[in-house]
Amino acid sequence: MNELRKDYLLDRWVIIAKDRGKRPTDFIQKPRVEKPKVCFFCPGNEHMTPPEIDRVEENGKWIIRCFPNKFPAATTEFGEIEENFLVKQPAYGKHEVIAETPNHNEHLNELSVGHIVRILDMYSSRINEIKRDEKIRYVMIFKNQGSAAGASLDHSHTQVIGLPMVPRLVKEETEAAMRYREEKGNCPFCDIHSYEAKRERLILEDDYTISFAPFASRFPFEVWIMPKRHVRFLDDLNDEEKHSFAKMLKKILRKLHFSLNKPPYNFWFHQSPDDGDLHLHLELAPRLAKFAGMELGSEIVINVVPPELAAQHYREK
């Protein structure tokens, strides 16, 4: 029987269409291989990107590199909000790219855990630096892997964008978490991961980190990864937690990569706004289904892979 399911916190619903009965193998696609004539992110082409902001080196060569986005969504021009019938302001912010590896054909899941830890450190460093601008209210870390997920280049990279406002979704999640805490006395995400650790949606866990398919998954094979300890920011993770998080991310991405034939995916971090108390977590969304009229018109997503089946698939791979 198909089910309507509500998000843990948000007033956001999905239809889990069990009756459509798609199997994991139904989603396997043949990835398109498009090798560019010139990759801006490869070693030797550093002059083709905007001036470098930061790098991590080994043996005198960069292994992680950060620079401004050549085609930024944000602008350096700041202006006040204009409110008449319509509301607008300049899209002020900072928009950067982090090239995760110098090797063009190397995916994030193929990097060592230690290398991924250094990427997480770069995320934290850029977040802290961007937040020094008092006009920035939130910094978003996100990754687009594959053209169907919005990536314009194959070379593995992450994007960092600082915004003059807190995104609506993050704001609503933070406010819902505050209401839950006032009512229950606990962090909702601490309760969520404790609950899911005992359910069939659990994928992996260790002493510090847990991953599971969320109850009201919007995407086939969606995964959430979160530290067990209540932390607000990436920078709050200690060395053991950071290593655990990197190891968990690598494992999940490897399972996704090999079991579904390198599917496109997005992931993003939800950190707390500075004036809130949101439990840090990463949301991973494989892009295996398209949003159609129902999803676009109602924001009610139809997901044909129940999260219980998705979690079983990950556990068995």
Q: Which residues are catalytic?
A: 157
Q: Can you give the three-state secondary structure of the chain, one letter per residue?
A: CCEEEECCCCCCEEEECHHHCCCHHHHCCCCCCCCCCCCCCCCCCHHHCCCCCEEEEECCEEEEEEEECCCCCCECCCCCCEECCCEECCCECEEEEEECCCCCCCCHHHCCHHHHHHHHHHHHHHHHHHCCCCCCCEEEEEEEECHHHCCCCCCCEEEEEEECCCCHHHHHHHHHHHHHHHHHCCCHHHHHHHHHCCCCCEEEECCCEEEECCCCCCCCCCEEEEECCCCCCHHHCCHHHHHHHHHHHHHHHHHHHHHCCCCCEEEEEECCCCCCCCCCEEEEEECCCCCCHHHHHHCCEEECCCHHHHHHHHHHC
What whole-number distance in Å separates Cα of residue 120 and Cα of residue 172? 26
| b/e 17-31 (16+ beta carbons within 10 angstroms → b) | ebeeebebeebeeee
